[in-house]
Amino acid sequence: MKIAVLTDSESAAGFRLAGLEVVVAADGPAAEKMLADLVQADVYALIAVSAALIPDPYRIVKRELRGRDLPVILPIPSIASALAEQGEDAKAYMRRLIVETIGYEIRIGDSS
β strands within the chain, DSSP E: 2-7, 21-24, 44-50, 72-76
pTM, two decimals, is 0.74
Domain boundaries, given as residue ranges, for the chain: 2-76, 79-112
Q: What is the pLDDT of residues 61-102, one digit of tens each?
A: 999 999 999 999 999 987 666 666 667 677 777 788 788 888
Partner residues linked to 72 by β-bridges: 46
Looking at domain 2-76, what is its CATH homologous superfamily?
Answer: ATPase, V1 complex, subunit F (3.40.50.10580)
Q: By the 8 A CB rule, do 56 and 75 touch?
A: yes
pLDDT score at 95: 81
Amino acid at 94: M
- Helices in 52-89 by DSSP H: which ranges? 57-65, 79-86
